């Protein structure tokens, strides 16, 4: 337990220190969302209709961008070797790392989404719905990404491959995230149905992600 706490605290510290990259994802999210109104034009109704989809797409791409740092840095400096000799199950160790990663890269996206919603002419209720679905969905994105991060660990600079591997697996999360947001804003589907499926996707990835990542890391040993 102490060991896992130490790992958690270290990853949080590393993320917020110089070169940690905790804010890269948020900055990317900000750039994508602020550029969107310039590209689409001044049609406020259209912007509001597309708002949830734009926010979700921005958040998805921002979390993919950050995944590269989840395990690769620990592999490069030899830390991963030592984590493998620690007396903690590898599944829990990677789960703790993914959790710390979500807190430093995923949660800021959720928190900044209402602010960015203003740029897309979203009403307060709509922004709240998007933030809620992002809160439910981004942990799923991180834990699905964990599998890809573990698979690409043996490759140097596997960043792009990682994104391509993970992207198809994140499509269900994107679909139900946007569907739940739209249901909350415009209807006619009740909010509960797509939101329930979104939560289920996240819960499944919370279980499968760490197990699959640990298997991938052990297979990658050579």
Partner 1 sequence: MRLRGSDLACVRGGREVFRGLAFIVEAGEALVVTGPNGAGKSSLLRMVAGLVRPRQGQLELEDGDPELSISEHVHYLGHQDALKPSLSVRENLAFWAALLGGGVEKSEVALAAVGLGGLAPLPAIYLSAGQRRRLAVARLIAVERPIWLLDEPTSTLDAAAQTMLADLMRAHLAGRGLILVASHGPIGLEGVKELRLGQQPKQRTQPP
3-state SS, 141-199, equals: HHHHHHHHHHHCCCCCCCHHHHHHHHHHHHHHHHHHHHHHHHHHHCCCCCCHHHHHHHH
**Residue 2 binding partner 1, by CB under 8 A:** yes
Nearer to partner 1, 45 or 87 (CB): 87
How far is Cα 51 from Cα 28, in angstroms, rounded to an integer?
A: 17
Given candidates 23, 24, 79, 175, which one binds partner 1 under the rule CB under 8 A? Answer: 79
Length of the chain: 222
How far is Cα 83 from Cα 3, in angstroms, rounded to an integer?
A: 10
Nearer to partner 1, 100 or 126 (CB): 100
**Residue 18 binding partner 1, by CB under 8 A:** yes
> Residue 78 phi/psi, 5° resolution?
85, 0
Nearer to partner 1, 32 or 92 (CB): 92
**Residue 81 binding partner 1, by CB under 8 A:** yes
Given candidates 46, 82, 118, 164, which one binds partner 1 under the rule CB under 8 A? Answer: 82
Q: Rule CB under 8 A: which residues touch partner 1? A: 2-3, 5-7, 9-10, 13-14, 17-20, 77-79, 81-88, 221-222
């Amino acid at each position: 337990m102490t060991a896992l706490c130490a790992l958690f605290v270290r990853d949080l510290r590393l993320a917020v220190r110089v070169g940690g990259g905790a804010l890269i994802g948020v900055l990317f999210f900000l750039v994508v969302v602020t550029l969107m109104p310039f590209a689409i034009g001044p049609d406020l109704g259209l912007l509001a209709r597309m708002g949830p989809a734009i926010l979700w797409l921005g958040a998805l791409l921002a979390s993919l961008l950050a995944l590269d740092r989840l395990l690769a840095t620990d592999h490069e400096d030899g830390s991963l070797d030592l984590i493998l000799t620690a007396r903690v199950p590898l599944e829990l160790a990677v789960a703790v790392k993914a959790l710390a990663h979500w807190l430093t890269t995923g949660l800021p996206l959720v928190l900044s989404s209402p602010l960015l919603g203003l740029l897309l002419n979203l009403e307060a209720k709509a922004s709240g719905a998007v933030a809620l679905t992002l809160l439910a969905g981004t942990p799923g994105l991180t834990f699905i990404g964990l599998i890809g991060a573990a698979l690409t660990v043996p490759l140097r600079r596997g960043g792009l491959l990682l994104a391509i591997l993970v992207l198809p697996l994140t499509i269900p999360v994107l679909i139900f995230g946007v569907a739940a947001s739209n249901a909350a804003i415009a209807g006619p589907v009740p909010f509960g149905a797509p939101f329930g499926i979104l939560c289920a996707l996240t819960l499944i990835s919370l279980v499968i992600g760490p197990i699959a990542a640990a298997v991938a890391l052990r297979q990658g040993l050579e």
